[in-house]
Structure 1
Amino acid sequence: MKIVIIGAGSQIFGRRSVIDVLLEKQFNDLPVELVLVDINEQKLELMYRFSQMVGEFLHSQVHVSATTDRKQALLGATHVFIAVSYHRYELWEQDFRVPYSYGFKQAYAENGGPGALFHALRNIHIIMDICSDIEIYCPQALVFNFSNPESRVLLAMSTLTNINAIGLCHGQHDALQAVCKLLERPWDSVTMRGGGINHFFWIQSIVDTTTGEDLYPLVKRKASQETSMDFALTKELLRIYGMLTYPDSTHAGEFMSCGYSYMQGKWKHGLESRSIATTHKSQQDMLSPYLTGSIPINPILVASREIAVPIIVAMQNGIPTEFTSGNFVNSGLYIPNLNPDGVVEVPILVDGKGIHPQSIPALPEGVASMCRTQMSIQKLTVQAYQERSKNLLLQTLLLEPTVDDIPKAEALIDDMLELQKDYLPVFHA
């Protein structure tokens, strides 16, 4: 087994992924190779040293190596993790502030809203090259994509390439944690099921894992008493549609015209949301304190909320195991009243034969309508990228709930394509 992590230099994603692989005791009984890949040599070296330290501490038998040569790393890979971006927070800030300067008020500018279009184009542009290498050097590999905007990126991977890919996100795990905190219950005592689109999924059932008791009435009572501003939009959506979605306004708010009002017009990662003296997490060195021994490593050696490694183990064991969610093209109408040619997030069943998306009941029409609009945005984004069409970029923006002015939308496109031209292909009128 050869697992390749592309984007391993990330001190959050890379660190979690390395720990997850090295923690898995079953991998000690198999010949497993873990290859770390990143274009940033300094960050890659730091992560490699960290992985060596973790491996020694855990007595892991996994062989770890690191390289900037992606092609060599992918040769014969069985599993590939992808989490990539260029200048993540600097460009994200442009995604948020430039559309805002045109009057397009966004909640977060990561997965929805006008800023997310440019986030999607940048990451699709990077990932298409990676996919081309996968098709050549490990065409049978199972690819786990973690890069946002998940729905748009995965649609591009699924329709513009021949690779076998699934999109993963810990959002539903976050929702489960939020519900368990609300109910003051351990996380393994509650089972939730639902789906929708990534970061805009909807919980259809919440039950006691042991007794099967319906816990939704209690969740609704508890939620009605919640006063946290972070939960405010989720609370309103629960009141209106009768279902929970992502437990933080930053995510559900991206897909709604009212989302920005729950963020007070602030960018969560900007100086308006933290003191000037506080270093942003993207600039913090999270690994060196462990490498120098100034912070003990043992407390962080726990499995993350990501499910890629558990999925690999379930496939290896051949024991049917259900997981909360994965992202797939809705070709099997896993959600019957959503578009068949867009990406949905639904529960998955994993066994020795692979990963099987599970069907869920139709979503209420008010919810489904919003999801279908976003799925059309997914499709137009990918078409615009494929055809390098500014006209299709405009059509995409005009579907966004926060975009209400055609000339400003056209000006925004020109502005962003110029500002981010080093990270995008050339688009034509």
Structure 2
Amino acid sequence: MSFKIAIIGAGSVGFTKKLFTDILCVPEFKDIEFALTDLSEHNLGMIKAILDRIVEANGLPTRVTATTDRRKALEGARYIISCVRVGGLEAYADDIRIPLKYGIDQCVGDTICAGGILYGQRNIPVILDFCRDIREVADTNAKFLNYANPMAMNTWAAIEYGKVDTVGLCHGVQHGAEQIAEVLGAKSRHELDYVCSGINHQTWFIDLRLNGRKIGKDELVAAFEAHPVYSQQEKLRIDVLKRFGVYSTESNGHLSEYLPWYRKRPDEITRWIDMSDWIHGETGGYLRYSTETRNWFETEYPQFLEAASKPIDPAKRSNEHASHILEALETNRVYRGHFNVKNDGVITNLPRDAIIESPGFVDRFGINMVAGITLTEACAATCMASINVQRMSVHAAISGDIDLLKLAVLHDPLVGAVSTPEEVWQMVDEMVVAQAAWLPQYAHAVPAAKERLSKSAVKTREWAGAARRNVRSIEELRAEKAALKQTG
């Protein structure tokens, strides 16, 4: 087989390498072309050198090109994968820093909440540019695979306004399933059969079977509470399981910022999170992790390049959906996964226009979703709160309506639990002004926002958050990795 895959935001070096090696685990895909594109020539150069080294070490005919000219990369592409972070870590830092001034403590801030909504405002105009280029220069039947957050908002915009065949992909479901398999004592994750449904980052394990035996709430709660690690790292997630009756796919830290109950007071935050790793609820945890990862990669690049000389091992193919979807579409080997698509009645008690994450099967005819799923009322209600915020956020990003943007932020569950309307109005003004370089649709609103900020009497505070850690130096990271290696 010979076709072209374009990766936008390919400078996300580690993730691009994973997708690349996964795809090349499919025997029929050795003779394809990867076209890498990114705004950063520096990052493109690094990732191309790594992928070229992989191709050379494995004696493959695979072609790798790299360009900052996005349209050139997309020309004739059958598949387009997006891994972009619009605004980079600079804008992301504002997504965390500014809401903290108004008492809003986020762990990640890339899905909803104040940070996730503004992240969507930066992404959506760019996503629509991608879609325009896909329609104009890519293969006629091109498929757009979106990995970028905020997943639901980006996918919603691409389908509804970009008019491109789009599927959103995430690994939260797989990671949650691995946890469940472990606590239940499965010898392999393949012993666990599961069905998840909901919306991205708020998907629920609605059916669990271990070697064919159905697993109920009580057994799952007992298994998690008995686990020496997860009982501490996933306290909030276990509490939601007890109250809702089903386990959430999302991590303790992520889940905490989608709900109005656990992060609204500093003393409650420290009660429900765990500081053993950022993902369990640390204030700005993913920002710190991302910053350290970038710094580590820049410093230790020669090691990454050397590691690329190893043979590709199909046994180590990851459970990221992309390679499996491409394999099913091209070879007709059926793949079952959980995909982000427009609802259109798949989940009976969520709106038809919402972007859902739910089971589907892929073959040469495309992605075929399992229809007729009904969530419990509690799960549906939680999803609905986020869907309403997502819908307003997408419409605000498309129209450049700053008042609608403020209403979207106001209706966010955690923001509403923490902040007053006056605080929300000022916070959004401050975020739009700070991120104006990446928000072209709000250019007309920036002068008035600056004027309001100059006259505002709303008080803020300089606050690092309830559970903040400093970014570690390269030396500290080296010492920690060495210590972990010694302890095995």
Partner residue in 2 for 1:337: 349
Cα distance in 1 for partners of 2:325, 2:88 equals: 28
Say whether 1:47 aligns with 2:60: no
Does the CA-based 8 Å contact 1:314-1:350 persist in structure 2? yes
- 1:94-133 CA-to-partner distances (Å, cap 9, x unmatched) read 2122112112343431112111111111111222211111
Cα distance in 1 for partners of 2:88, 2:120 equals: 12
Cα distance in 2 for partners of 1:290, 1:96 equals: 30
Kindly report structure 1 stretches of 4+ aligned residues shifted beyond 4 Å.
298-301
Q: CA deviation at 1:367?
A: 1.5
Partner residue in 2 for 1:168: 169
Cα distance in 2 for partners of 1:270, 1:65 equals: 30
Say whether 1:378 aligns with 2:390: yes
Q: CA deviation at 1:86?
A: 3.4
TM (norm. structure 2) is 0.81
For 1:136-147, list aligned pairs within 5 A: 136-138=136-138, 139-147=140-148
**Partner amino acid, structure 2, of 1:321:** Y
Does the CA-based 8 Å contact 1:269-1:280 persist in structure 2? no
Partner residue in 2 for 1:221: 222
Deviates more, 1:228-237 or 1:86-95: 86-95
For 1:83-122, list aligned pairs within 5 A: 83-122=83-122
Q: CA deviation at 1:61?
A: 2.7
For 1:32-43, list aligned pairs within 5 A: 32-43=32-43
For 1:266-415, list aligned pairs within 5 A: 266-269=283-286, 280-285=292-297, 287-292=301-306, 297-298=310-311, 302-323=316-337, 325-331=338-344, 333-359=345-371, 361-402=373-414, 403=416, 404-415=419-430
Relative distance call for 1:201 and 1:279 in structure 2 (3 A) is: closer
Relative distance call for 1:375 and 1:247 in structure 2 (3 A) is: closer
Q: 1:190 aligns with which of 175, 184, 192?
A: 192
Partner residue in 1 for 2:17: 15
SS state at 1:172 partner: helix
Relative distance call for 1:410 and 1:133 in structure 2 (3 A) is: same
- 1:196-240 CA-to-partner distances (Å, cap 9, x unmatched) read 0101100011112xx411133532321133454431111011100
- 1:325-353 CA-to-partner distances (Å, cap 9, x unmatched) read 0001111x111101111110001111111
Q: CA deviation at 1:283?
A: 1.8
Higher relative contact order (CA 8 A, sep 6+): 2
Identity between Structure 1 and Structure 2 (%): 25
**Partner amino acid, structure 1, of 2:200:** N
Partner residue in 2 for 1:156: 157
Does the CA-based 8 Å contact 1:121-1:424 persist in structure 2? yes
Does the CA-based 8 Å contact 1:348-1:356 persist in structure 2? yes
TM (norm. structure 1) is 0.91
Deviates more, 1:195-204 or 1:245-254: 245-254
Cα distance in 1 for partners of 2:399, 2:110 equals: 23
Partner residue in 2 for 1:418: 433
**Partner amino acid, structure 1, of 2:406:** L
**Partner amino acid, structure 1, of 2:26:** E
Cα distance in 1 for partners of 2:321, 2:282 equals: 33
SS state at 1:135 partner: helix
Q: Which runs of 5 or more residues in structure 1 are unaligned?
A: none
Cα distance in 2 for partners of 1:220, 1:254 equals: 22
Does the CA-based 8 Å contact 2:224-2:231 persist in structure 1? no
**Partner amino acid, structure 1, of 2:240:** L
Pairwise CA RMSD:
2.2
SS state at 1:39 partner: coil
Partner residue in 1 for 2:240: 237
Relative distance call for 1:381 and 1:244 in structure 2 (3 A) is: same
Cα distance in 1 for partners of 2:372, 2:215 equals: 19
Q: CA deviation at 1:88?
A: 3.0
Deviates more, 1:259-268 or 1:304-313: 259-268
Relative distance call for 1:309 and 1:257 in structure 2 (3 A) is: same
